Structure formats: C-alpha cells, structure tokens
Amino acid sequence: MVSFNGRSIVSIRDMSHDDLIKVVETTKRVKHGELSGFLKGKTVATLFFEPSTRTRLSFESAVFKSGGSVFGIANPKASSQSKGESFADSIRTVSGYCDVLVIRHPVEGAARMASELSSTPVINAGDGANQHPTQTFLDLFTINESFGRLENLKIGMMGDLKYGRTVHSLAHALALFGNELTFISPPSLQMPENILKELDDRNVKYKSVADLEDAENCDLDILYVTRIQKERFGDPQEYEKVAGIYRITQETIRLLGEGIRVMHPLPRVDEIAEEIDSMPNAIYFTQAHNGIPTRQALLGLVTGGLD
C-alpha cells in the first residue's frame, strides 16, 4: 500500500502511477468534506525564496482549513540568507521548527537538496524552471473530477511548451495513464526533445502541430493552455504574430468541439478571451481552487495526519 508518511514531495519523476492515484483519491475525500482537522497540532513552515503570492496563499489557506498552524518567509530579503547564512544552514535550522517545510526557490534542485538536509518532509512549491509538483497534482485532480478518469483522454497542450515546466510535468504524469497528447506551439517554443524522447520510451501517442486549426480534428477532451511569455521573443513583432494565433475564443471552442474543457495554470494574459470564463468549458478557475484540497491532502499525507 502506498504511504506518504514522512516522505518529501520534490518531483513528479519520483511518483509512481499508484502514488498519483493515491493523491487524487485523497484530494477528492478532502474536497467532499470527508476528512478534516488532520493538521491539528502540526506546524507548517513556508520558505519562499522568490515571490509567489498565489502558491504561498494557497498553501497557507490549505493549512488553516486543515486545522494546522503556519509561519514562514515570503521575501528572501527578510531571511537570514540576506545576512549570508547558507541555504543548507537555513534548511537545517527551520526544519527543526516545524512538521513540514514548504519551499520555493529560484535555483533548480533546491527542493531536492532541502529534502536531503531537512529532518522533516519537504514539499516543493517550485524550483526555478524545474518542478512544481503540487501544480501537477491539482491538474490531475481537476482532470479526474471533470472526466471521472485519468486514462484514455485526448489532451492538447498549447502555448509555451519549451519553457513551461507545468506542461513538462503534466505530460510526464499523463504518460503513466495511457493518454493521447497533442502539442500545439510555434516552432520556437516546441516541447523539448528530451521530453518527447521520454514519451517515445513509454510508447505514448503524441503529435506536434503549429496551428490550433490543425488540432480541430483531434477530437480533444481537454485543451491545456499556457501563457506565451513576451520576453522569450527577441522580436516583438514575432511575439504579436504568435500571440494572435494562440488565442481561445468562443469560435475556437465551437471549432474544437462543445465538449472540450479548457484548463490553464494561471495567471493568464490574453490567451483566453474573457468571454470563455462563463462557459461550462472553462474549468481554469475550478482548477486554481482545487489547489487548496490538493495541498491539504499532500500536507496531511506527508505529516501522517492522513493515510
């Protein structure tokens, strides 16, 4: 039986098929109010070495809703690191003050390193361009909530697939369940070769297309949209060209099929028109809200409050 007690959540790569199912099932029970108060007497430290209001508030809300206490830093300038304390010493010290450590850091691998130094479990809330596993868990939960399954789905991923860690981790996780993937991006922002290689190794069916129109006959169940960052383009004109092509409107929904569900890790800029927000196809705000029960479930599982 899968147990998370005492275990750190660093990367989706560490997770088996059964691990992912366990988290999704536990999240469901938390969301439906079957489990509560499981962090009573537990203290959670949130160490955010780079700003991320949304993720931090979501973790703090998750702690309060589960009956726990939370403290931490939201600004690296306010920490001892600004006095020259090493990262390793900060982790060793703070891990003695809490039952679980939630960490966000701009350096890739910082959470893995913290998990090796910490006396308590570590949850990675984002390490640079590498991993953001709690985002992937909430994405999986949202997919399961909408479709009642995690397998045999046709999922399109659109936007910045080269630098977007969200889509890398999600593709990795979905590969464990047997889904068909369609990657929609401009040539300069395609899914990296090494991720495609991994999908090949797992015999995952996928294809890459440049235009949203090419995805019309893919019969997609889900379109996962990510933001294309302006700063990735040297030429602003090139950006404008691309940004225009990858904009979801009511017309797009009609072309892709009325049953399609649109997801987005947020924040969005203008890649999804606001007219979509009130349509039943838009599930990105539900997705964002699912961050709370997902993080509640993970905090409960690693501290032993849930099993």
Task: Kindly list the residues in this chain that would bind other proteins in the complex (CB under 8 A).
Answer: 11, 13, 86-88, 106-110, 112-113, 116, 127-131, 194
CB of 5 to other proteins, least distance (A): 23
Going by the DSSP 8-state scheme, the letter that residue 301 receives in this structure is: H
Toward other proteins, which CB reaches closer, 131 or 303? 131
Toward other proteins, which CB reaches closer, 108 or 238? 108
Residue in this structure with the two tokens 């399609």, named with its chain if needed:
260
CB of 115 to other proteins, least distance (A): 11
Toward other proteins, which CB reaches closer, 20 or 111? 111
CB of 38 to other proteins, least distance (A): 31
Toward other proteins, which CB reaches closer, 129 or 269? 129
Count CB-CB contacts under 10 A for residue 247.
Answer: 14
Toward other proteins, which CB reaches closer, 32 or 77? 77
Strand 261-263, strand 122-127: pairing: unpaired
Toward other proteins, which CB reaches closer, 49 or 246? 49
The H or E element that residue 78 is part of is none
Toward other proteins, which CB reaches closer, 87 or 147? 87
Toward other proteins, which CB reaches closer, 201 or 235? 201
CB of 105 to other proteins, least distance (A): 8
Bridge partners of 180, per DSSP, are 154, 205
Residue in this structure with the two tokens 């302006």, named with its chain if needed:
230
Cα atoms in the 13 Å half-sphere on the side-chain side of 185:
26
CB of 199 to other proteins, least distance (A): 13
Query: How far apart (Å, rounded) are the C-alpha atoms in residues 17 and 185?
Result: 28
Torsion sign over Cα 64, 66, 71, 75: negative
The H or E element that residue 294 is part of is helix 291-303
Going by the DSSP 8-state scheme, the letter that residue 129 receives in this structure is: T
CB of 68 to other proteins, least distance (A): 28
> Would you state the structure tokens that stand for residue 64, as one six-digit string?
């309060």
CB of 114 to other proteins, least distance (A): 9
CB of 109 to other proteins, least distance (A): 3
Cα atoms in the 13 Å half-sphere on the side-chain side of 235:
5
The H or E element that residue 125 is part of is strand 122-127
Cα atoms in the 13 Å half-sphere on the side-chain side of 149:
9
